[in-house]
Chain A
Amino acid sequence: MNKVLLNSWRGRLAAAALAVPLFAVLGPVPAQAQVLIEHTASGDVEAALGGIFKAIEDNKLEDAYNRVNALLVARPNYRLAYLIKGDLLLARGAAISKMGAMPGAPADKVSDLRAEALQRLRAYREKPPVDQIPRYLLQMRADQKHAVVIDTKKSRLYVYANDNGRPRFVADFYMSHGKNGIDKVREGDQKTPIGVYYVTSYLPKAKLADIYGNGAFPINYPNDWDKRQGRNGHGIWLHGVPQDTFARAPLASDGCVALSNADLEMMGKSIDPGRTPVIISDNVEFLSQDDWNTERQSLLKAIDDWRRDWESRDTDAYLSHYARDFEGDGMSLKEWAVRKRQVNAGKTFIKVKLGDMDMFRYPGTKKEMVVVTFQQDYQSSNLSNAMKKRLYWIKDGGTWKIVDEGAA
């Protein structure tokens, strides 16, 4: 649909150019045509772009021109809007055959803006399904008021609120990511990591170079799973854009996630450093409430089975919950088994309570994976402790198994 739209630019504008004498008599742009856009979300920009492209499709070029001027009043440094304005002006003189029709316009820059237009129009026309839930957000903790979900393929960042345990869509924003795409592995590869992260802190504008815009939220890349995969690098942030531009191209950063400054500030209201999860995926799937519940229940049952088998001191039953390629506390499954048999042998009882749990499906893994974090209260005949624990569960042969266990 969006492709059709952008391709139709050609025919429409060529046709439109024929109508130049017609719209030259329409007179100057009336000042009152400049409807100010009030909100700060990028959604307003997409609605404006949607209106502009609709006007172009309908061959209402004067209307499109007025709309693009209004957008530029609201967003003075909006390069994409300037490009469209330039093309609309060119179209008054001669048929133009493509977006960015000015002879000698640098192809790479035009292509960046065209990509941004496509992404924004796609987002405008394909809103996230409000009654569905991103598959990643299986369970949020009570103190996690919001979660951030990023779809790199769509250049989109979604904010969900925790509505009594059920994620509720709040807002979505256009975002840019790494010049070289996704699946960050190494320092300097200019890629954006795929995974489940947390915002660790906040850096205000005053402490930042202009390139980061109005603020930055660092995330905990590389996390435990990344380190286990041998990934390195650091300094992946969600941040703003330089003051001389409203937005950056879809693929523009050194691996960070960049939002328009107004959007960053709006998103920032939902972020609680140390708590807010940030899930970066290249393809966000949405589930119906029922399917979401089914997935949750299946996983919750697996976790509870593991807990009860641990309490039962039946070490074989307990070990049946671990995957063959398990690693934990630097041990392989074999070493882990030896240790657990020793420990359990000397106990007359074990009691395990789990609380404050979150569960997030992990994007981009070969086998389905979920990362679960909780407060673990362990009591036994000879040892008791309380700790924050993190388990990675994978779907192995149709059942959920632990592939990694450690302190969170």
Chain B
Amino acid sequence: MTFSFGSGSGPGTSSGMHPAGKIALRLLFAALFAFGAAGARADEIADIGKLLKAGQYDQATSRVDAYLASKPKDAQGRFLKGLILTEQNKTAEAIAMFSGLTTDYPELPEPYNNLAVLYAGQGQYEKARQALEMAIRTHPSYATAHENLGDVYAKLASQAYDKALSLDSSNSTAQTKLALLKELIGTGNRARVVGTQTAAATPVPAKGAPPAAVTPPPAKAGPPAVTPTPPAATPTPPAAAKGDDAEVAAAVNAWANAWASKDVDGYLGAYTKDFKQKGESHGAWAASRKQRIEGASSISVKVSGLKVSFTDANTAVAKFRQDYKSNITSANSSKTLVLTKAGGKWQIVEERSGG
């Protein structure tokens, strides 16, 4: 997936219902003043935005991380972080970021839209559809979301047709590319359509959703974006767990230790034999991990704040903060591992960054 910066329409607009239609790529990048933030804060956000626009992802990342360290709940900081992750093709982390925003700020359509873009990029059109319909539910006249939704409908229709007529269009259908919103509560699209579409819009508001798009968004009283919140993660020693919790904690620690000691076999063995990520085969995934581990001369991995929950007796979800340092790079991120128990052994079936 590629994104181009700048305001207004990107290359091409939706060609309607043809499954292989070229999809609009509209990105908006405007000042992010919506929450009426104090000057210094707004300046920082604007600066990070400029770094992102300039492609300075590493710098943008460290600035936004620093910003979020003091304001972990801040919607604009998290939105920017989501955009940076998206630009870096860190799709899973970007999804987690936007997904968190939709949970904390369900009234904002932009995170839903961007979530939909990322889902569509993964071929998860039904999820994309649901996210876009949520965006439109909160803001019925949101033109970008409507256009994206039209493209998602077209893609879903095409998939339904493939199944109806037992066609295989997998290689004839271009991947749908949707418009990512680069702006949270901006003055671009969302406001622009107000004059034209809401007048004609049906008088049926989405249930329980205020017609928020009609007026410029007021400062939200709701989530205290301004108030700094203390870091959520309080370290819990894995030792405190018992029984299955302890087994899962031990498996997570063993995985981290194998990684830190560059024990490739031990590291890969912590995953199930058919573990896959991002559509890669297990073999391709294993090869890239091996290369990455062997390519570093020193690695340190610290796991903190581990929390284990169980979906069922043989499926566990481990969430923790991962502090990774190597001679090449370092990253402190939240991580989720889904583990499954087979033959008395807990192994990783899913790995994602973020909540």
Contact = CB atoms under 8 A, between A and B. Distances in A.
Contact of B206 (A27, A82, A87, A105): A27
A85 B157 CA distance: 7
Contacts of A90: 17, 153-154, 157
A234 to B, nearest CB: 30
19 contacts: A21-B146, A25-B140, A25-B206, A26-B133, A28-B133, A28-B134, A29-B130, A83-B161, A85-B157, A85-B160, A86-B156, A90-B17, A90-B153, A90-B154, A92-B153, A93-B16, A94-B17, A102-B158, A113-B165
B205 interface: yes
Contacts of A25: 136-137, 140, 202, 204-206
Interface of B: 16-19, 129-130, 133-134, 136-137, 140, 146, 149-150, 153-154, 156-161, 163-167, 201-202, 204-207
B133 A102 contact: no
B157 A105 contact: no
Contact of A89 (B133, B137, B153, B166): B153
A390 B181 CA distance: 80
Contact of B150 (A27, A28, A92): A92
A79 interface: yes
Given A21-B202, A22-B202, A28 B157 contact: no
A103 to B, nearest CB: 7
A24 B136 contact: yes
Interface string A223-241: 0000000000000000000
Contact of A24 (B149, B154, B156): B149
B165 A110 contact: yes
Contacts of B167: 106
A22 to B, nearest CB: 5
Nearest to B206: A25
Contact of B18 (A21, A103, A245): A103
A186 interface: no
Contacts of B134: 27-28
Contacts of B154: 89-90, 93
A80 interface: yes
Interface string A127-160: 0000000000000000000000000000000000
Contacts of B19: 102
Contact of A86 (B129, B158, B205): B158
A92 B151 CA distance: 10
Nearest to B197: A21
Nearest to A90: B157
Contacts of A24: 133, 136, 140, 146, 149
A109 interface: yes
Contacts of B136: 24-25, 27
Contact of A105 (B150, B165, B205): B165
Q: Give the top 9 A-B pairs by smallest Cβ distance, nearest first.
A: A86-B160, A89-B157, A82-B164, A83-B164, A82-B163, A28-B130, A85-B160, A28-B133, A86-B161
Given A28-B133, A28-B137, A83-B165, 15 more contacts: A24-B133, A25-B204, A26-B133, A26-B206, A27-B206, A79-B166, A80-B164, A85-B156, A86-B158, A86-B161, A90-B17, A93-B16, A102-B161, A106-B167, A110-B165
A21 B198 CA distance: 11
B201 A21 contact: yes
Nearest to A69: B126
B202 A89 contact: no
Interface in A84-133: 85-87, 89-90, 92-94, 102-103, 105-106, 109-110, 113
Interface in A262-276: none
A27 B131 CA distance: 9
B161 A94 contact: no
A79 B165 contact: yes
A65 to B, nearest CB: 10
Contacts of A245: 166
Contacts of B146: 21, 24
Contacts of B165: 79, 83, 105-106, 109-110, 113
Contacts of B202: 21-22, 25
A102 B157 contact: yes
A81 B159 CA distance: 12
B159 to A, nearest CB: 8
A123 to B, nearest CB: 21
B163 to A, nearest CB: 4
A113 B19 CA distance: 21
Nearest to B14: A93
A88 to B, nearest CB: 8
Contacts of A21: 140, 146, 201-202
A81 B154 CA distance: 17
Contacts of A86: 156-161, 164
Nearest to A79: B164
Interface string A22-47: 10111111000000000000000000
Output the residue of B16, B149, B164, B205 with the most chain A CB within 10 A: B164
A25 B156 CA distance: 18
Nearest to B139: A25
A244 B164 CA distance: 11
A113 B160 CA distance: 13
Given A25-B205, A93-B17, A109-B165, A82 B130 contact: no
A28 B130 CA distance: 5
A82 to B, nearest CB: 4
Output the residue of B160, B163, B201, B205 with the most chain A CB within 10 A: B160
